[in-house]
Amino acid sequence: MEKVDLLIIGGSAGGIVTGQTARRQYKDASIAVIRKEKEGQVLVPCGLPYIFGTVGSPEKNIMPDKLLSGSNIDLIIDEVTSIDKQAKTVATASGKSIGYDRLVLATGADPIIIPIPGRDLENVFCAIKDVDYLNGLLRAVAAIKDVIIIGGGFIGLEFGDEFRKRGLNVTIVEMLPHCLELVFDEGFCTLAESQLTERGVSIKTGAKVEAILGEKKVTGVRLAGGEELKADLVFMCIGVRPNTQLAQDAGLEIGETKAVWVDEYGRTSNRDIFAVGDCAEKRSFFSKRPSALKLASIAAQEGRIVGANLLELRRRNEGVVGAFATIIGDSGVGMAGLTETQAKAAGFDVVTSDVKTPDKHPGSMPGAKEFGVKLVFEKATHELLGGQVCGGLTVGEVANVLAALIQSRMTASEVATFQYGTHPFFTPSPLVYPIVNAAELALAKL
């Protein structure tokens, strides 16, 4: 029987970073990652939409295995079928038994398939992280004209924009009043929607797909209320559910969000088994209540915590803030923390502020775009709870800056006086730097 000090099940973002961190912390430990994907076939999860318009193929959206081999981490291509907690072994599909001192579950999440008529028809797809499957989708979209996307979250909008780059007729159907409504306040949602419609994407909000039509292959969808929309292909992206079957079969505790329960150190209900990424339950940075956030960036952060804690508890998870960004054409929207809507729903009494300014200075610089910032502060403590940004290609990094300010529990006064750098080509003017100006405006209300 093989035996390793640290065994990681799953080789995507959470599993890779856990292994890399463990190697830095425990130089002499034997570390192995076991995964189903063949060599050179682990996809960059956030890059899936860009296979279809920007990058061109799944093979150009791969995380290199050198991330493991370069850290002296063994790679085992196999599938774990069961965990024996008492013996501290796992069994695999190939008949192996592998022992461990510490085990990490990084089994991710699976797309939710809507249980509606027609879901099994040819040309119904979802965002499955598999090279062969996505090549099948790539072949399908090369032979069609009309696409219906069910779900108006980040994945739906990004796939919609990429399909549109191929010249396809794209319609996004979203049940909520706005696309991205779960992560942005209304003004930012409508901005993203307008950017999509300007690029030729049709959007139907407040609408529900009741059935997918066709005999063998998709011909359309029927909405609740009877309206029918033509489609050659349907793409479902309404969310994911944690992949917890191994954990459940092993008798590990499952949390409120149906993910594997973990403590602040990443330990499951069995102290020799840890969990990271989409399969592991999160807690909100703000309320400490279970959170359904699932992001590759969070998986990587958890990997850095768990990788350091495997043999000695060194790092603690203070909860998820959440930082997002997406791009439509050359315009982006991003956010970190709580929106105004979310903060109020969580019971916070808040003050908000909005500013807009060119993202370069002077505003006559080539390529300058309007840059908007909305900040949300708690009235009682003056602490920053969240921020939303819109503008050009810098919004992702600005959202990251906001996440850092939130995690530092900075007050409006501290945000208004934090030190930053500027440059005419890269940033707004130091005289009207939007994060600082928004904090100043909030202070006047506070």
Convert the pLDDT of each residue in 298-328 to its tens digit.
Answer: 999 999 999 999 999 999 999 999 999 999 9
For residue 270, what pLDDT band results from cuts at 50, 70 and 90?
very high
Interacting residues of 157 by C-beta distance below 8 A, sequence separation 6+: 172, 179, 180, 192, 196, 326, 328
pLDDT of residue 1: 73
Percent of the chain with pLDDT over 90: 98
What is the tens place of the pLDDT at every residue in 180-189?
999 999 999 9
| Global confidence as pTM | 0.95
Domains of the chain in sequence order: 2-109+241-309 (3.50.50.60), 113-238 (3.50.50.60), 323-445 (3.50.50.60)
34, 92 Cβ separation under 8 angstroms: yes
For 33-58, how does the pLDDT look when each residue is reduced to its tens digit (9 = 90+)?
999 999 999 999 999 999 999 999 99
Q: How far apart are the first and last CA of the chain?
A: 65
Q: What confidence tens digit (pLDDT) does each residue in 220-229 have?
A: 999 999 999 9
Classify residue 251 by burial, with Cβ atoms within 10 Å: 0-12, 13-18, 19+.
exposed
Long-range contacts of 246-254 (CB under 8 A, 24+ apart): 246/9, 246/80, 246/82, 246/83, 246/105, 246/107, 247/83, 247/105, 247/107, 247/275, 247/279, 249/82, 249/83, 250/82, 250/83, 250/84, 250/85, 251/85
Separation between Cα atoms, residue 336 and residue 325, nearest integer Å: 9
